[in-house]
Structure 1
Amino acid sequence: MGRVLVPLDGSRRSDKALDLAARLPARELILFHVGGDDSERSRLESLAAPLRTGERVVEVEIRSGDATDEILAAAADCDLVVMATQGRNAAGRLLFGSTADRVSQRSATPTLLVRTKGEDAAIPVPVRIVVPLDGSDLAEGALPIAATLARVIPLPLHLVRAVDLDGIRATIQEQRKREADAPPLKDEEHTYEEARQLTEQRASSYLADTAEPLAEQGQDVHTGLLQGTPVFALLAAIQPNDLVVMTSHGRRGFRRVMLGSVAEKLVRESTAPVLLVPMRTPPAPA
């Protein structure tokens, strides 16, 4: 992994992102701040000093201007952005429109968002990488960088897919309403069971086929089916010490703003850091 940009705003919350960034095998870390003065530079230098180990280069960069624009400009020359997002504010209301939101929506560089619960809350050390898939090529766009991270950190790689059983039942019921010659209602449960088994079989086969080439490359890769709608199934399965890697767009097609998407909801609600890989991002360098 090459250059990693870590935007910091001077708060202890944002510094938590540096804790996770420092664990990544990056050749270069850039501690980045917009605004500030000599005192802020001194503070960043004090954070950078203990990270300068081995061959790793740690730089401090301070710019003036709009925070979002400056971060995006700097990110264009980096392989990864790591920054904190607060999730919910003290009143429990969702924070939207923050710099982290705007950067993750507009950046062409993969962005790792670290949710911070408080100034003193520690960021758990990741123990596995979780990649949510939905069967689309777009969702699979997260696999190259996920596989690279899993190999170089190293961590086991878990590929998961949600199967919405309630959605299957609703589809069957809707078809019943449209078919004049529909089977009697008493056969609905049998039809549902057949549909459930077929859906789970196809999903399992898809995960196995996706995992096979990764395993052949020596990856420690696992697969798992989740039950429920994608958002709720993922939120129930993801642990604080997971690292989630996913594309910011999937079956719902291209949307510049992630509002309402699975990725956006995971960023806001998940206790684990989420790495968003934008569409058209080239495979991560080895």
Structure 2
Amino acid sequence: MFDRLLFPTDGSDGADAVLDHVVDIAAAHDATLHLLHVAPAEPERRPNLRDGDGDTEASDPGDSDGSDPTERRRTDGERFVTDAEARASQSGVSVVTSVERGEPYRVITEYAAERDADLVVMPTHGRTGLSRLLLGSTTERVVRRSDVPVLTVRPDAATGLAYPYADVLTPTDGSVCATAAVAFGSELAAATDAALHAVSVVNVAAFGADIRGPLLIDELEERASDAVEKAGDAAATAGVETVRKSVGRDVSIHDGILAYIDEHDVDIVVMGTHGHTGFDRYMLGSVAEKLVRTSPVPVVTVREPRDE
């Protein structure tokens, strides 16, 4: 299923914690692992006001020892990818390393598209308390903009993660983005002999003050049931042997999905990133980004196809 994986690394503890899991995925699929570090862009140069000949000087004067901090960070980046390459090579994984300059999220998304990557893997940098709700800004931007599916892993949950996964959850509302996620999740489950859980959660709290609430909830449940049935059919067509289908109610879709993860020992969630407005916003909406921040298990976010 995977031929090329992209793992951006900044040498942080979060990246280091997730690396072993990325290597396990690459080894299982005999995939090439691309290790990328994005160094800061070259500093802009401005006219040297002390000279009258139009010479320029860097806007960043460097450290007191005369070293160029931008070049030093590039050298650090080369060390980060080299160290990661050494760890990956111990598992027999083929590795490509690269150090690029620029805006990190932009370089990552462009690199993934240009190298035809199948999956981008990134840590969320989540921890405990309030900070666990905050994504690293680069990860968040990549999740929102990448046309390539993005697997996010909480560093504090990376230890002990097993691959291949045994239970894959695909929340669905029947939308285009959810259908794309179901297709990816089905392919992943089929490739790893995992069970696929096709689930739709109806937000009952959204209609609490609406006199039409019961009728709207019934309609949503009908649509949810239809979406789950279609997801199950797609999984079976993809070759998934075990498909579990469920439609539930909860005060929020996010809470319903988290409860399902806990109750069914789900190993990974595959979810579309684009919700809808109007009626459909009561289904997925912006749940994907919230789930990335709080899920105790890895989450793959899948964008709807561009041509849609």
- The verdict on a shared fold, with TM-score over 0.5 as the criterion, is yes
Is the counterpart of residue 231 in structure 1 residue 254 in structure 2?
yes
Between the aligned residues of both structures, percent identity stands at 33
Secondary structure, counterpart of 1:244 in structure 2: strand
Aligned to 2:180: 141
Q: Distance in 1 between matches of 2:81 and 2:16?
A: 14
The residue number in structure 2 matching 1:6 is 7
Q: Which residue matches 1:50? A: 90
Q: Deviations over 1:186-233 (max 9, x none)?
A: xxxxx94x8766754553344224312432443122111222121111
Where do 1:87-102 residues align within 5 Å? 87-88=126-127, 92=131, 94-96=133-135, 98-102=137-141
Counterpart among 27, 33, 36 of residue 37 in structure 2: 33
Q: Is contact 2:171–2:270 with CA below 8 Å preserved after alignment?
A: yes
Q: How does 1:133-212 map to 2 (within 5 A)?
A: 133-167=172-206, 169-171=208-210, 173=211, 175=212, 192=214, 200=221, 203-212=224-233
Give the AA of the match of 2:259.
Answer: A
Q: Which amino acid aligns with 1:234?
A: I
| Residue of structure 2 equivalent to 1:248 | 273
Specify which structure has the bigger relative contact order, considering alpha-carbon pairs within 8 angstroms and separated by 6 or more residues: 1
Segments of 5+ residues of structure 1 without an aligned counterpart are 176-190, 254-259
**CA–CA distance in 2 between the matches of 1:90 and 1:236?**
19
Letter of the 1:245 counterpart: V
Are 1:276 and 2:301 matched, yes or no?
A: yes
Aligned to 1:67: 104
Aligned AA for 1:236?
A
* Distance verdict in 2 for CA 1:85–1:26, change over 3 Å: farther
Tell me, yes or no, if the aligned pair for 2:17 and 2:155 is still in contact at 8 Å.
Answer: yes
Instruction: Quote the residue 1:17 is aligned against.
Output: 18
Q: Which segment drifts farther, 135-144 or 269-278?
A: 135-144
1:87-119 deviation digits (Å, cap 9, x = unpaired):
24675463256111111112111111111227x
Distance 1:281 1:2 in 2: 22
Partner SS, residue 90 of structure 2: helix
Q: Distance in 1 between matches of 2:195 and 2:132?
A: 34
TM-aligned CA distance change 1:227 to 1:45, over 3 Å: same
CA distance in 2, matches of 1:134, 1:275: 17
- Residue type at the aligned position of 2:161: I
**1:261 matched to which residue of 2?**
286
1:227–1:69 CA distance, 2 compared to 1 (3 A): same
Aligned AA (1:111): V
What secondary structure, in the 3-state scheme, does the structure 2 residue paired with 1:86 have? coil
Scaled by the length of structure 2, the TM-score of the pair is 0.72
Q: State the AA in 2 paired with 1:114.
A: V
* Separation in structure 2 between the aligned mates of residue 93 and residue 141 of structure 1, nearest angstrom: 28
Cα–Cα, structure 1 residues 63 and 159, in superposed 2: closer, same or farther, change >3 Å? Answer: same
Deviations 1:3-45 (A, max 9, x none): 1101111123212332332333252111222234253343123
Contact 1:16 1:123 in 2 (8 A): no
> 1:52 touches 1:58 (CA, 8 Å); kept in 2?
no
The one-letter code matched in structure 2 to 1:123 is L
Instruction: Structure 2: give runs of 5+ residues left out of the alignment.
Output: 40-73, 279-284
Larger radius of gyration: 2
The 1:149/1:88 distance shift into structure 2, 3 A limit, reads same
Per the alignment, residue 56 of structure 2 pairs with none
CA distance 1:42–1:139, shift in 2 (3 Å): closer
TM-score by length of 1: 0.77
Inter-partner Cα distance in structure 1 for 2:130 and 2:219: 45
C-alpha deviations, 1:224-279, integer Å up to 9, x for none?
122212111112212475211111012338xxxxxx81111101111111111112
2:147 matched to 1:108? yes
The 1:112–1:213 alpha-carbon spacing in structure 2 relative to 1, beyond 3 Å, is: closer
Number of residue pairs matched by the alignment: 254
Alignment-mate amino acid for residue 246 of structure 2:
G
CA contact (8 A) 1:112 1:273 kept: yes
The structure-2 alpha-carbon separation of the partners of 1:195 and 1:280, relative to structure 1 and needing over 3 Å to count, comes to: closer
Structure 1: distance between partners of 2:238 and 2:277: 31
SS at match of 1:18: helix
